[in-house]
Amino acid sequence: MVKNKRVIIENVLTVTMNEKNEIDEFTIIIEGEKISSLYKTGAGHTIKKKKNDYIIEGKHRIAIPGLFNGHVHSDITLARGLGDGLTLYEQDNDSFVSRKKWFRNELDREARYHSKLLQYVEAIKGGTTFLCDVPFWHYGDDLPGPFKRTGIKGAVVLDYRKDFLSGVEVEKEAYYDTAINLKENGYIPIVEGPAEETYDIKLLEKLMRRAEELDTFIQMHLAETTWRVKIIEKRFGKRPVMFLNDEGFLNRRVIGSHGVYLNDEEIGIIKDTGARIINCPTAEMKISDGIAPVVKLLRQSVPTGIGTDGALWNDSADMFSEMKSLMLLQRVTYGASSIDAYSCLYSATLGSARVFGLDHELGSIETGKRACIALIDFNKPHLVPVYNGKMSNVLQTIISCVRASDVDTVLVDGKIIVERGRLNTVDENELLHKCQEMGINRFRDLDFNA
Ligand SMILES: [Zn+2]
């Protein structure tokens, strides 16, 4: 890993995501954790190189801001593929998944730890530099261990229960200790709010108070499915957004996950209260949740991001595939011109940075921002030609053609974590071997009909 040197990415086609939305060839200079300057190729700047500068060649590469994955359940990654063909309701109530209690025996502490590492490694190698993890079982795990080991940035949504199946609550002191430990290590602790089936005014009050005391966000699965919306209509006589708003639980601290069933009035309320939405297009297709009105949220400037969700719903953490899914789903619903490639990339960069209150330091490639950058190698049959003149196909290529495996270099806060496809922080072969063995030992002989 390169430390304490200037890193210079030379003459690289850069999608800045700055205010002017500049896409051009730049030389990017990184000092410490930040981008210290950005020079347009051919604009007459001479860059004085120093002996210790670390040079990255920009030829045949596109630089984009490091991607945000706004919603991941990483501790179940080893159960990849096992939720297939089921809706969320079936997974929760009547299936192999619910009978196996979400694989609580198979996903012991060691398996959960490796699930996280595997997910983070997949993410960072694919250009994700910030990930919001929503673990189902987090206590007893070594937070923020997997973040530190891989070098990825992120947030952790902390459940008030030891695990969601037992419902046993974590003691307040232990909860705060975990949250403060995360904060002190540079990660964002987020309070986990209840999903609709457990809405309760006292519980919501308690958790909102925690978010205020920790000065952070509260994340709630919000209006994801018709059955969850119906539960609230039946119990409180109104839809989830209306209920939360009427009871004073909708504000700028709230990050609503999924947000599939939002009507125009509810989108207006979300905008007015300053709440945010993270949508998971692939998961919502795969488990047949429905199609979220993302274009309407973006048009209203609601801070909106996207995420891949967990292994039982997606089952991949490829953010390029997620951006493409977002584009396709919006277009099939709202028309071919409803969402452009820029808006899809925005959702995974600056839009997500806004959701987590980080747009002043992340989400674009600009002087003064943290150097979180992914380089895409486009010298491949499924990507050429890439051009950027009077006519440009750069954004369209990123959204429609690039795959996570085309990312070959990733910087996080100025540190080169992935270099020419090689991960510098974790022994990838060892991890893959271990995860493959654990998968075989724990899942291969499970009886689907038991
Ligand atoms: Zn989720």
The domains of the chain are located at 7-65+364-419, 73-355
- In order, the DSSP letters of 143-192 are TTHHHHHHT-EEEEEEPSBSSTTT-PBPPHHHHHHHHHHHHHTT-EEEEE
Q: Which residues pair with 13 in a beta bridge?
A: 25, 62
Ligand 1 center to 159 CA (angstroms): 12
Q: How far apart are CA 403 and CA 38, in angstroms?
A: 26
Q: What is the mean pLDDT of the chain?
A: 95
pLDDT number for residue 140: 63
Does residue 448 register a pLDDT over 90?
no
Ligand 1 center to 387 CA (angstroms): 38
Architecture of domain 7-65+364-419: Roll (2.30)
403 three-state secondary structure:
coil
Ligand 1 center to 374 CA (angstroms): 26
The 10s digit of each residue's pLDDT in 329-353 is: 999 999 999 999 999 999 999 999 9
Ligand 1 center to 38 CA (angstroms): 38
Dihedral sign, CA of 120, 123, 129, 131? negative
* Mean of pLDDT values over 126-144: 88
Cis ω before 293 (30° cut-off from 0):
no
Ligand 1 center to 72 CA (angstroms): 7
- Do 304 and 277 contact (CB within 8 A), yes or no? yes
Q: How far apart are CA 240 and CA 198, in angstroms?
A: 12
Ligand 1 center to 217 CA (angstroms): 16
The 10s digit of each residue's pLDDT in 274-319 is: 999 999 999 999 999 999 999 999 999 999 999 999 999 999 999 9
**pTM of the shown model:** 0.96
Ligand 1 center to 93 CA (angstroms): 16
Q: What percent of the chain has pLDDT over 70?
A: 98
Dihedral sign, CA of 277, 283, 287, 292? positive
Ligand 1 center to 221 CA (angstroms): 7
Ligand 1 center to 324 CA (angstroms): 20
**Helix (H) and strand (E) counts for the chain?**
16, 17
Ligand 1 center to 340 CA (angstroms): 26
The helix (H) or strand (E) run that includes residue 38 is strand 34-40
The 10s digit of each residue's pLDDT in 405-426 is: 999 999 999 999 999 999 999 9
Q: How far apart are CA 259 and CA 62, in angstroms?
A: 32
Ligand 1 center to 157 CA (angstroms): 10
Do 7-65+364-419 and 73-355 agree at the fold level? no
Does residue 75 register a pLDDT over 80?
yes
For residue 80, give the nearest of 325, 313, 307 by alpha carbon: 313
- Do 10 and 55 contact (CB within 8 A), yes or no? yes
Ligand 1 center to 380 CA (angstroms): 34
Q: Any idea which of 18-22, 220-224, 385-389 has the lowest mean pLDDT? A: 220-224
Q: How far apart are CA 178 and CA 265, in angstroms?
A: 38
Q: What is the CATH number of domain 73-355?
A: 3.20.20.140
* Mean of pLDDT values over 90-94: 90
Ligand 1 center to 248 CA (angstroms): 23
Ligand 1 center to 131 CA (angstroms): 13
- Do 399 and 323 contact (CB within 8 A), yes or no? yes
Q: Name the CA radius of gyration of the chain, rounded.
A: 22
Q: Which residues pair with 191 in a beta bridge?
A: 158, 218
Ligand 1 center to 7 CA (angstroms): 37
Ligand 1 center to 205 CA (angstroms): 21
Ligand 1 center to 204 CA (angstroms): 18
* Mean of pLDDT values over 171-188: 95
The 10s digit of each residue's pLDDT in 206-240 is: 999 999 999 999 999 899 899 999 999 999 999 99
131 three-state secondary structure:
strand
Ligand 1 center to 280 CA (angstroms): 9
Ligand 1 center to 424 CA (angstroms): 30
Does residue 1 register a pLDDT over 70?
no
Ligand 1 center to 194 CA (angstroms): 11
- Do 30 and 89 contact (CB within 8 A), yes or no? no
Ligand 1 center to 1 CA (angstroms): 33
